[in-house]
Amino acid sequence: MGKIVKKKISPRQKMINLMYVVLMAMLALNVSSDVLKGFGLIDEKLTSSTESSARLNEEVYKKFDQQYQANPTKVKVWYDKAQVVRGMTDSLYTLIDELKYDIVKKSDGDDADVQNIRHKEDLEAATQIMLSPVSGRGEELHDAIVSYRERVTSMLVSEAQRELVEHNLNTDVPLEAKLTGKNWQEYMFESMPTAAAVTLLTKLQNDIRYAEGQVLHDLVTNIDVKDVRVNQLNAYVIPSSRTVVQGGKFSAQIIMAAVDTTRRPTIFIADKEIKDNHGTYEMICTRTGDYTLKGHIEILDGEGQTVKRNFEQQYTVVAPSATVSADIMNVLYAGYDNPMSVSVPGVPTNQVSLSMTGGTLKQTAPGKYIAVPTNVGGEAEFTVTARQEGRNQVMGKFTYRVRKLPDPTAFIPVGDKHFMGGRLGKSQLIASSGIGAAIDDGLLNIPFSVKGFETVFFDNIGNAIPEVSSSANFTERQKNMIRGLSRGKRFFITKIRAQGPDGIERTLNGAMEVIIN
């Protein structure tokens, strides 16, 4: 079948639309009755255009019928939608035909002929048929157009097509008409000459046939309405993974290139047919090693002849394995947030989980965790689990020793540097807040909280004068003693008490010597 091309508005249709607009404008200016004769010409052109659209649409319906008969499974959903479009379009089209006849009959009598209107200038017929308080059908037409427009545009994919259909079937009232309190039907048909009213309704029929065609061409693109021919057919095996863990499941998708999902090929593994409509082959792998999946696939070509293609696929079965690593070193510190990483070769990170005994574990990202062990001197055990083929499988267990955090190093913060002993200017020393402590050895970077310390000064005869601070800061007495030191004099900072993130307070060994520079 030939390729179906989406319709575009032809130059002829554009000219018809333009003529219609011009004549409506002339009518609004109360041009003489001779102008009304022009509406007959416009109506004739519109009718011809509408009939052409209807014939084109009918060709699409026939193609739907043919394809549905050939392959109902594939085509049914789109065929059913096409029938809905046909039904609601014909219903609205018939309603408009009835209104045209009723208006002309009101003007010309029982022998009225819509194609040959005698009283074209009659200003009462359209008003009475469409706007009569008791039997007026203008509101019925308005509601039918709104309903049709909403249902049709909901089926269109292209935003441009939706906007065009909404514009053609627009029922909004211009601002000037709203200010006079008119609704759509009053704006369209009040004191409208019979010829103009009929032409307006014919234009509506033309617009709904156009909208019908747009929807049909959208629907028809969703099915294969053409014969597809290929010059090469090959069988393919698509495994979910070429590496399988022992005890896991090997899964492979076996297909024929360009296969139709409504007509599946027949698959054979070692000459045994696989009973699976989706071409999926599965087996449990119980031994490690390298293996090859072999077989052939059969399908009927367009002439009913059997086409056979062989296939083979290598795959590997490996033993369960996993990796858990402490991101810092091969030990864990109690009471501290130890970053951990976990992975399993061949398994996505989001399908791998980690559990822990001897502490708490918190996941921060796929494959990333924070472990906080509690048993100093003991061990923390980790278990790695992977989700495969819908079940959880343990991939390995790992044990780490748990230690207390090492003692930190004390320092005096000077700007952005850490002074750890030696010569220091008096002004820098007095400007410093006090004492800090941290582990900063290139692997760990852990701040500690200083709880107190002692300074030891010496008088002129060499007597030691201790002074205690119960916080991390120098006391005012300690600062005064520092101010009294001359260049080259020294004092010591000792008995520094610090507490780390593990909550353990410890007194640091050694003393920091400070020489006034």
Whether 374 contacts 359, CB under 8 Å = yes
Residue 508 pLDDT: 94
Confidence of residue 10 (pLDDT cuts 50, 70, 90): low
278: pLDDT strictly greater than 80: no
Domains of the chain and any CATH numbers:
11-220 (no CATH), 235-318 (2.60.40.10), 323-403 (2.60.40.60), 409-516 (no CATH)
Mean pLDDT value of segment 342-352: 84
Query: In this predicted model, which residue has the larger pLDDT, 208 or 348?
Result: 208
Q: Round to whole Å and give the CA distance between 196 and 235.
A: 66
Query: Tokens 């297909």 sit at which residue?
Result: 255
| Helix count and strand count (H, E) for the chain | 11, 25
Nearest Cα neighbor of 148 from 62, 212, 225 is 212
* Amino acid letter for position 273: E
Q: What is the largest CA-CA distance in the chain?
A: 140
Confidence of residue 161 (pLDDT cuts 50, 70, 90): confident
Residue 45 pLDDT: 81
107: pLDDT strictly greater than 60: yes
Mean of the per-residue pLDDT values for the chain? 83
Return the minimum-mean-pLDDT range out of 210-214, 320-324, 337-341. Answer: 320-324
29: pLDDT strictly greater than 60: no
Whether 302 contacts 290, CB under 8 Å = no
Could you list the beta-strand ranges (E) of 323-390: 323-326, 331-333, 338-343, 352-357, 359-365, 368-373, 379-388
Residue 30 pLDDT: 47
228: pLDDT strictly greater than 50: no
Mean pLDDT value of segment 409-428: 91
Residue 424 pLDDT: 93
Strand-pair category, 306-318 with 243-245: parallel
313: pLDDT strictly greater than 90: no
Query: Tokens 């011009």 sit at which residue?
Result: 22
Strand-pair category, 379-388 with 391-403: antiparallel
* Amino acid letter for position 417: K
146: pLDDT strictly greater than 90: yes
Mean pLDDT value of segment 462-472: 94
Whether 149 contacts 92, CB under 8 Å = no
Question: How far is residue 241 from each of residues 251, 280, 327, 389, measured CA to CA in Å?
Answer: 7, 13, 29, 11
454: pLDDT strictly greater than 90: yes
Residue 438: both structure tokens together: 């941290």
Q: Round to whole Å and give the CA distance between 299 and 376.
A: 68
Query: In this predicted model, which residue has the larger pLDDT, 90 or 272?
Result: 90
Residue 15 pLDDT: 61
Per-residue pLDDT tens digits for 40-53: 777 788 888 889 88
